[in-house]
Chain A
Amino acid sequence: MTDLLAARSQMAVSLAFHIVFAALGIALPVLMCVAEWRARRTGDPGYRALAKRWAKGTAILFAVGAVSGTVLSFELGLLWPTFMARSGAAIGLPFALEGFAFFTEAIFLGIYLYGWDRVPPRAHLAAGIIVAVSGTLSGIFVVLVNAWMNAPVGFALAADGTLRDVDPLRAMGSPAALAEALHMTLAAYAATGMAVAGVHALLLRRPATRADRVAAAFHRRALGVALLVGAPSMILQAVAGHYSAATVARVQPVKLAALEGQWTTMRGAPLRIGGWPDERAQRTRWALEIPYGLSLLAFDDPHALVRGLGDVPPNDRPPVLVTHLAFQTMVGCGMLSALVAAWALWALYQSRRARRAGRPGVGLAGRPRLLLALGITAPAGFVAIEAGWVVTEVGRQPWIVQGVLRTADAVTPMPGLVVPFAGFTLLYVLLAAVVVWLLRRQIDATERTGPGRLTAEYPARA
């Protein structure tokens, strides 16, 4: 393994690990706030219990997200010192703003978690809302940095490769910024909401849960709130995803060609579903091709010219196979999850209409097939997030900053990078296992609490 590959792998592992916790840390506070708001509105202690459970989950995930984020901020320099030396001045501002958003989040999460009985109820909910807003903002600030790496602006490139006349404010307004920020924020809400909904849907299917009225009521509430956040986000993501692809087509035509497996420059390019790009033969085999689809989707014109990889010198091409497969995975998982989300929203609408009309409608809990579908597709959103990051990062190669700095020129001169790569991979695998195990036990603890325990454990505020 070369040092460059080891460095890239370590960065990939760190990001792949962090992004799960970041996405959950962005969206779980929203669920938590909705639950607490409902508890206040309805006086229903079940929602309060739910808010407390989600707050505990948020605490675990936020902490792991915080430490893995700290690791990343160091790794930027430990692995890519030349990148940081050259672009620190351009991308430091959003990182600084992210630091503050994160700080605010940490402070108010402390108040939220430990302040149930110490601050007035309204201040408590307000603290939760601040956590949710600052979490979302910190995610957006980090994505702005990535957008700059994909479509850098706000500087002049000197002959020696350094950046001159850096304008940090303009650097935050990369042409990729809006698309990426929208796509990632929705992804966090959609993936988290649908994952949480899936877990509770599966628990609702258990015979033991159905026999226990209190536990069933708990999971029904959880499912409802999670769907409220996750399902609309997952459906809206189709629009945001289209906008993202159109932006990539405009600002990173080579990446578009790679993710679509488009080898020849042509008008009226087809959209490929599936397929296996063969880099040696320079063609994509076995794809289902929809005529004019790519030109239409990327440029709103069935006859638009799409640039192919054949026009790009081989050492300026990203790895096509990985990028294309990751893109297909992302779109496939997103579509699947969006379908289930639409089904669930339709079911919610039906039962609400029945209730309004005074008929005994079928609630979500009474639809075992929907519950099963929600359970099976629960991880789909996160698979899509991981695949999406592979698309954006691998699709940008061989550049670390598109057109400005090559990844190979940015890596540290430190040899033996395979050692820290192996070490951090081991550490993260271990941590992931522990987190899953702990969260399972949190859920099991809910399962084990007999009738009345939940309300006794979390009495409603008088």
Chain B
Amino acid sequence: MTALTLGGVPIGLPEIAAGVMALALNAYALLGGADFGGGVWDLLARGPRRAAQRALIAETIAPIWEANHVWLILVVVLCFTCFPPAFAQLATVLHVPLTLMLVGIVLRGSAFVFRAYDVQSDDVKQRRWGLPFAVASLVTPVLLGVTLGALASGAVGAVDPTRGTFAERFVAPWATPFSLAIGALTLALFALLAATYLTVEADDPALADDFRRRALAAQAATVLAAAVAPLLAPAESPMRGVAAEGALARLIAVAAAVCAAAVCVALWRRRWLLARLAAQGEAACLVWGWAWAQFPAVIPPNGTAARLAAPPATLAWALGALAVGTAILLPSFVYLFRVFDRHRQGAG
């Protein structure tokens, strides 16, 4: 029996664990990311239907936001279980942006719930909780993107956190044009996802059109950021030639381009469901494009999955628990989304 290989790398438990993490991150981008995007559109609510826009966003997010954000916890837990040294390195070098991101997560989550459960008139509630919710929704995705960008650039892996000045160790790895570009890309992508979801959710055609314009603008920003970011990557980064090498890389790049085009066409022709699907495809291509570009490294340039992995017993148990957990979770998730899919309920 020959072992399964991918791009010349034999696939074992560490590589599978890394793949599962990418999958969880993908889910977080599609679900939690759209929540952040909703917050962005809350901040940018304009025009005569401003209140209706905010109401739709709140209504769409409310029942599912907590479940959506557990994906991030799953990514963190998988990281420190399956790749403990990688988690330690990331948390040490990226202490500053990760801490700021946490502040954003705390402010956003609490402000949203406080707004939902404040027994006050809508105006007062909006003034009181709307701003922290929306601003945190804007800043947090940027910081998430900055940390991922720092990781992908190879800078995190190259730093020795016990040597050098404060700036060299704890600022320089992430305060780069490339990281900021990935931050912008993340924000634009999340805003795009949210806008396409909201076109589907809106019952009023005028409201749907509001989010159509927003989705198109977000798509323009996403495409721009995705095109510019690789040019800013340092020469030694695996992101440099992200679409150049290998059949799989080219396939992902082509799929991303097709999805991006489909988003524009579907939005233009007001095919909301298709636009949502294409935007999800675009997001998935970006996540997997990044994952494949640095494969088999968990922390580029040299920290491969195999080198940083926990002992096989831990990986086996963690992946086993994941399989059993998924068998319980998936039907639960399907049930959740079915109960709250407004279009199954008729007039709902």
Q: Report Cα–Cα, A75/B102, bound state, in Å.
A: 9
Partner of A109 from the list B66, B84, B89 (CB cut-off 8 Å) is: B66
Q: Is B305 an interface residue (CB 8 A)?
A: no
Name the residue on A nearest B95 (C-beta).
Answer: A414
Query: Are B81 and A88 in touch, CB under 8 angstroms?
Result: yes
Which of B33-41, B45-53, B109-117 touches A? Answer: B109-117
CB distance from A297 to the nearest CB of B (A): 38
CB distance from A98 to the nearest CB of B (A): 8
Q: Which residues of chain A (68-121) have a CB below 8 Å from chain B?
A: 68-71, 73-78, 81-82, 84-90, 92-93, 95-100, 102-104, 106-111, 113-115, 118-119
Size category of the B interface is 35 or more
Q: Is A16 an interface residue (CB 8 A)?
A: no
Q: Is B347 an interface residue (CB 8 A)?
A: no
Partner of A166 from the list B78, B106, B311 (CB cut-off 8 Å) is: B311
Query: Are A413 and B92 in touch, CB under 8 angstroms?
Result: yes
Query: Are B103 and A427 in touch, CB under 8 angstroms?
Result: yes
Which of B69-77, B181-189, B203-211, B239-247 touches A? Answer: B69-77
CB distance from B68 to the nearest CB of A (A): 9
Q: Report Cα–Cα, A422/B333, bound state, in Å.
A: 38
Q: Report Cα–Cα, A70/B65, bound state, in Å.
A: 14
**Which residues from chain B sit less than 8 Å from chain A, CB to CB?**
62-64, 66-67, 69-70, 72-74, 76-78, 80-85, 87-92, 95, 98-99, 102-103, 105-107, 109-110, 112-114, 116-119, 161-162, 166, 169-170, 310-311, 313-314, 317-318, 321-322, 325, 328-329, 332-333, 335-336, 339-340, 345
Q: Which residues of chain A (422-440) have a CB below 8 Å from chain B?
A: 423-424, 427, 431, 434, 438
Query: Are A85 and B87 in touch, CB under 8 angstroms?
Result: yes
Size category of the A interface is 35 or more
CB-defined A-B contacts under 8 Å, sample of 24: A64-B113, A70-B105, A74-B98, A88-B83, A88-B88, A89-B84, A89-B311, A92-B80, A95-B81, A96-B78, A96-B81, A96-B318, A100-B329, A104-B332, A107-B333, A110-B64, A110-B67, A111-B336, A114-B340, A414-B161, A416-B166, A420-B99, A427-B107, A431-B106
Query: Are A67 and B340 in touch, CB under 8 angstroms?
Result: no
Name the residue on A nearest B325 (C-beta).
Answer: A100
Bitwise interface map of A from 207 to 238 toward B, beta carbon under 8 Å scored 1, else 0: 00000000000000000000000000000000
Query: Are B113 and A63 in touch, CB under 8 angstroms?
Result: yes
The 9 closest A-B pairs by CB, nearest first: A92-B81, A77-B91, A88-B84, A89-B310, A100-B325, A81-B88, A85-B88, A63-B113, A67-B109
Bitwise interface map of A from 48 to 75 toward B, beta carbon under 8 Å scored 1, else 0: 0000000010011011101111110111
